[in-house]
């Protein structure tokens, strides 16, 4: 009996052991979830702008992306000017490598035109829903010679923002009519803009015990102020019958010192008297703070202003924001004929447009495209366009088709609709100014920035400053190659 009990016990123990082994085998044989990019790494370069604009969301997403995929993403964030220098150096220095460039469209000639960028694979296009991207970006900003290279992070256009409540106030309307002889409305020309800025400047129109100002706009040096300057100058200098703007496409002679650009620089300087103290050093966040905090009646800005005014803690304007096109002009300079044409001219500025570009020389292109696609997906960009402080603006159909979805960002539905409708008007204007997109664009911008700022500070007369900038542009063109630049510029106009 004792022997029988022992035998049974031994049998049961053995059975349990074997059963445990089988279960263990089943457990260990289950496939472990793979991390497709384990052991791989990439380097991304994106400039440091004020606050955490553009680069902030990228930095925020790195940790989760690395954890999910096993890949490593190093983000390099130099200053604006240093970014220009580092990208240029990386194209010739084998020891300086970037897998992803996060840049605006001014880099298209240097990077796309010179064949440094990998075209977007069809699989990635499907992943980010390529057809959802607006044609004005998909077919021009993100492409070169009918090939798609840029993954769309941000869609940019510059508009005018104004205090709707001030413009609607009966006392202000009557006083403006009495002083200027025409109704107070959102200005459609720069002449009218000056009148409105002057009217609202230097008095306490909100009864807070201190004087307010007429307008705010970018002026800071070594940043992106020149993008806004060229948007403003377009009213005078971008003829609707001439696709060229910055150069004569045949000779590459700069147009920036012609009467139209000089007039624009005079305005750019003149309007300073209607802005807050210190506006000579205003970057984007300064403009947005000045407007949203109720310090100025009007502001020029990208679409960042809409979301900032809607939900920034400093904003006291909220649903009192009006949206309008950048002012135009009643006359426009005809550079081909060297004469002014008396005709209304309204121009849109599609300027900026941040995108992800994957370096053709990257050793880990799949990882680079995976991270780029993650950051530029429909879902990610939808979230970021409605988030204050990202500088990511609408670029897709899906960003525009549901104004009510912007309620969580602080907009009322009517305000969101007005905001999106005004951006849509800008994007549909056939008379458009794009960024300089030929090789050396960064150098051209640095030259105009240097001399325009000298004029702004009273160190040079506007004509002298533009002549000096034009001379520098000529040297840049000669250094790169005039025929080559002419070919690139003509391509950029088509």
**pLDDT for the residue numbered 10:** 38
For residues 411-421, average pLDDT: 94
**pLDDT for the residue numbered 25:** 44
Burial of 285 (0-12, 13-18, 19+ CB in 10 A): middle
Give the highest mean pLDDT range of 1-5, 104-108, 460-464.
Answer: 460-464
Is a pLDDT exceeding 70 seen at residue 6? Answer: no
Provide the pLDDT confidence category of residue 405 given band limits of 50, 70 and 90: confident
Instruction: Give CATH for domain 41-156+353-401.
Output: 3.40.190.10
Provide the pLDDT confidence category of residue 13 given band limits of 50, 70 and 90: very low
Neighbour tally for 297: CB within 10 Å: 25
**pLDDT for the residue numbered 81:** 87
269-301 pLDDT, tens digit each = 999 999 999 999 999 999 999 999 999 999 999
pTM of the model: 0.89
Closest CA to 390 of 321, 308, 290, 317: 308
Q: Taking the domains of the chain in order of start, what are their residue ranges?
A: 41-156+353-401, 159-350+434-492
**pLDDT for the residue numbered 382:** 94
Three-state SS sequence of the chain: CHHHHHHHHHHHHHHHHHHHHHHHHHHHHCCCCCCCCCCCEEEEECCCCCCCCCHHHHHHHHHHHHHHHCCEEEEECCCHHHHHHHHHHHCCCCCCCCCEEEECHHHHHHHHHCCCECCCCHHHHHHCCHHHECHHHHHHHCEECCEECCEECCCCCCEEEEEHHHHHCHHHHHHHHHHHCCCCCCCCEHHHHHHHHHHCCCECCCCCCCCEEEEECCCCCCCCHHHHHHHHHHHHHCCCCCCCCCECCCCCCECCCCHHHHHHHHHHHHHHHHCCCCHHHCCHHHHHHHHHCCCEEEEEECCHHHHHHHHCCCCCCHHHEEEECCCEEEEEEECCCCEEEEEEECCEEECCCCEEEEECCCCCHHHHHHHHHHHCCHHHHHHHHCCCCCCCCCCEHHHHCCHHHHHHHCCCHHHHHHHHHHHHHHHHCCCEEECCCCCCHHHHHHHHHHHHHHHHCCCCCHHHHHHHHHHHHHHHHHHHCHHHHHHHHHHHCC
Determine contact, residues 100/45, Cβ cutoff 8 Å.
yes
Is a pLDDT exceeding 90 seen at residue 347? Answer: yes
Is a pLDDT exceeding 90 seen at residue 16? Answer: no
For residues 120-134, average pLDDT: 97
Q: Which CATH architecture has domain 159-350+434-492?
A: 3-Layer(aba) Sandwich (3.40)
**pLDDT for the residue numbered 271:** 98
**pLDDT for the residue numbered 30:** 52
Least confident of 33-37, 81-85, 204-208, 259-263: 33-37
């Amino acid at each position: 009996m004792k022997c029988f009990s022992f035998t049974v016990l031994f049998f049961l123990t053995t059975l349990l052991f074997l059963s445990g082994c089988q279960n263990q085998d089943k457990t260990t044989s289950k496939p472990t979830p793979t991390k497709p990019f384990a052991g791989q790494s990439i380097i991304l370069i994106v400039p440091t702008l004020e606050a955490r604009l553009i680069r902030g969301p990228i930095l925020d997403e790195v940790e989760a992306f690395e954890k999910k995929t096993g890949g490593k993403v190093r983000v390099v964030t130099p200053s604006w000017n240093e970014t220009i220098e580092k990208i240029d150096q990386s194209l010739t220095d084998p020891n300086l490598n970037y897998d992803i460039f996060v840049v605006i469209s001014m880099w298209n000639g240097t990077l796309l035109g010179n064949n440094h960028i990998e075209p977007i694979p069809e699989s990635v296009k499907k992943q980010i829903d390529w057809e959802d991207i607006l044609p004005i970006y998909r077919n021009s900003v993100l492409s070169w010679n009918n090939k798609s290279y840029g993954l769309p992070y941000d869609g940019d256009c510059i508009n005018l923002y104004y205090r709707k409540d001030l413009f609607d106030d009966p006392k202000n309307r009557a006083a403006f009519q009495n002083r200027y002889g025409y109704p107070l409305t959102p200005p459609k020309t720069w002449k009218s803009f000056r009148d409105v800025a002057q009217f609202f400047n230097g008095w306490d129109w909100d009864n807070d015990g201190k004087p307010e100002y007429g307008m705010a706009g970018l002026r800071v040096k070594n940043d992106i102020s020149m993008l806004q300057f060229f948007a403003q100058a377009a009213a005078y200098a971008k003829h609707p019958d001439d696709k060229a703007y910055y150069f004569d496409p045949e000779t590459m002679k700069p147009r920036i010192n012609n009467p139209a650009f000089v007039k624009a620089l005079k305005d750019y300087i003149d309007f300073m008297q209607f802005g807050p103290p210190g506006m000579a050093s205003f970057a984007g966040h300064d403009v947005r703070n000045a407007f949203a905090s109720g310090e100025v009646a009007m502001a020029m800005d990208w679409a960042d202003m809409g979301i900032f005014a809607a939900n920034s803690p400093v904003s006291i304007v909220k649903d009192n924001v009006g949206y309008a096109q950048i002012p135009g002009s009643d006359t426009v300079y005809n550079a081909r004929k060297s004469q002014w044409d008396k005709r209304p001219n309204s121009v849109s500025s599609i300027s900026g447009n941040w995108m992800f570009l994957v370096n053709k020389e990257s050793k880990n292109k799949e990882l680079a495209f995976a991270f780029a696609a993650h950051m530029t997906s429909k879902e990610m960009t939808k979230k970021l366009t409605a988030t204050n402080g990202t500088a990511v603006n609408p670029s897709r159909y899906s960003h525009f088709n549901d104004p009510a979805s912007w309620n969580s960002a602080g907009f009322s539905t009517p305000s969101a609709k007005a905001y999106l409708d005004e951006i849509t008007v800008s994007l549909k204007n056939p008379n458009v100014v794009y960024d300089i997109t030929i090789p050396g664009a960064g150098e051209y911008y640095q030259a105009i920035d240097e001399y325009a700022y000298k004029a702004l500070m009273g160190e040079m007369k506007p004509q002298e400053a533009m002549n000096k900038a034009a001379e520098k542009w000529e040297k840049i063109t000669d250094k790169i190659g005039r025929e080559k630049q002419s070919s690139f510029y003509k391509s950029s106009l088509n």
